[in-house]
Amino acid sequence: MRLLRSYRGAEWDRWFEAAGLRCPALRGPVPDSSVVLAEMAAQGLGVGLLPARMFRARETGGRLVRPFDLTVDLGSYWLTWPQSRPESQVMRRFRLWLTETAPACDTA
């Protein structure tokens, strides 16, 4: 099966390492978003590693299949802005909305 690559460089290396296997050579295009990668997988173009929380609805809807329970932590996203710029009212509302919408986020 073709392994679809993403912009998160070493994800397949880390997945195979966690599975106790050697990662094969990877070739092919590198889409610039997880959404494009998920669509490629849904169209049968290969197997991709995707953030499970982002794509649970597609999995539930039958467009994607999660064949293994193995997960690999590839880090987190951070909400940032320059220290030189104070937090605006709009930025504050967005930050509050984001932390309320995604309660699993670490706000430290």
pLDDT, residue 8, reads 80
Mark out the alpha helices in the chain (DSSP H runs).
11-19, 34-42, 52-60, 89-101
| β-pair partners for 3 | 47
Count of CB atoms within 10 A of residue 41's CB?
21
pLDDT tens, residue by residue, 33-92? 888 999 999 999 999 988 877 777 777 678 888 888 888 887 777 788 888 999 999 999
User: Is pTM, for the whole model, over 0.85?
Assistant: no
Structure-block tokens of residue 58: 């597609």
The full set of domain ranges for the chain reads 1-74, 76-108
Architecture label for domain 1-74: 3-Layer(aba) Sandwich (3.40)
The angle that helices 52-60 and 34-42 make with each other, rounded to 10 degrees, is 30
End-to-end CA distance of the chain: 40
